Amino acid sequence: MQEPGKFSEKSAIELLRWYQAMGVDETISETPLDWSSLQDTKALLPQPAPATNRPDNRRTSARSAAPPPQAPVSAPAHKPAHVNLPAATLAARDLAAKASDLQGLERTLAEFDGCALKKTAKNLCFARGNPQARLMLIGEAPGRDEDLSGKPFVGRAGQLLDKMLTAIGLTPDDVYVTNVVYWRPPGNRTPTPHEVQACQPFLERHIELAGPEMIVLLGGAAAKQMLATEQGIMKLRGKWKSIEIAGKPIKTLATLHPAFLLRNPVSKRLAWRDLLTIQAALEGKGD
């Protein structure tokens, strides 16, 4: 009988395989830590702020818990000039603006050190596909396979994406694919706001130089960033919006990320509806 609190070798191997499938390929610390042996784990958790003595504290808390007003989904992807942006973002704006073509932008981005993700990534993942394509696809961030190859969407999610495009008569040469950030986050974690902001000027210039007729945003992270909203992907997907890049409005549609579809095959029916919407727009039958 297995001792309570102990893993068998088989269980440990299965757990490691699950971690690998979820993209966890790095340890947080070199020294293992048995959390169950700690005497007081509460001290390691965030403690709530002390309550105030204000008589209207409950009403104030209720107001602060309410969601903020939603920004228009047609809002421009870039930040207003008056917002205090990090130095890395300001530097990125200047460097990106000087790039006269996509090759120059990629070289400039390769030399840019303002995004912390570059320090842990193996390769820059700039883009793949046809830069002259009518349709540009934007995802969240490179994964392990992308980091190794230096190309976005080449792993399992990318292979599914190619199959999805084939289903509506598109080949990989009919689209241009990139991500919100250009380097892989460690362990495939979500990019931080600072990392996204550091890459944002390059992405905007990327879109401007490619000049797509339409943009498809793959997943909630890309959709929230480019549509300047906090709405979830299930509310955003399937509807044509508009973003403005360098003064030019571009039709934009959010859909589910292929990696999400791999984990949730039942949602492929929703993605299929979005694909038909994209196909209709490309054929001049959409809104």
Q: Can you read off the two tokens belonging to residue 135?
A: 């349709």
Q: What is residue 154's three-state secondary structure?
A: coil
Q: What is the pLDDT of residues 99-144, one digit of tens each?
A: 999 999 999 999 999 999 999 999 999 999 999 999 999 999 999 9
Least Cα distance to 109 among 120, 93, 131 occurs for 93
Of 246, 265, 248, give the one whose Cα is nearest residue 256. 265
**Residue-level pLDDT at 9:** 72
Contact 124, 181 (CB under 8 A): no
**Confidence (pTM):** 0.72
Domain 87-282 has CATH 3.40.50.300: no
**Cα 55 off chain centre by:** 42
Is residue 125 within 8 A of residue 185, CB to CB? The reply is no
Angle between helices 156-167 and 268-282 (to 10 degrees): 50
Query: Is 45 a residue whose pLDDT tops 50?
Result: no
The tens digit of pLDDT for each residue in 182-239 reads: 999 999 999 999 999 999 999 999 999 999 999 999 999 999 999 999 999 999 999 9
As given in the structure block, the two tokens for residue 58 are: 């409950």
What is the residue extent of each domain of the chain? 87-282
Out of 9-13, 19-23, 155-159, 250-254, least confident range:
19-23
Q: Which residue has the higher pLDDT, 29 or 167?
A: 167
Cα gap 42→61, rounded to integer Å: 24
Give the Cα separation of 176 and 214 in Å (integer): 11
- CA-wise closest residue to 251 among 134, 101, 169: 134
Element (H, E) at 245: strand 240-245
The DSSP symbol for 81 reads T
pLDDT digits (tens, 9 = 90+) for 236-269: 999 999 999 999 999 999 999 999 999 999 999 9
Name the DSSP letter for residue 237.
Answer: B
pLDDT of 79 higher than 70: no
CA distance 145 to 154: 7
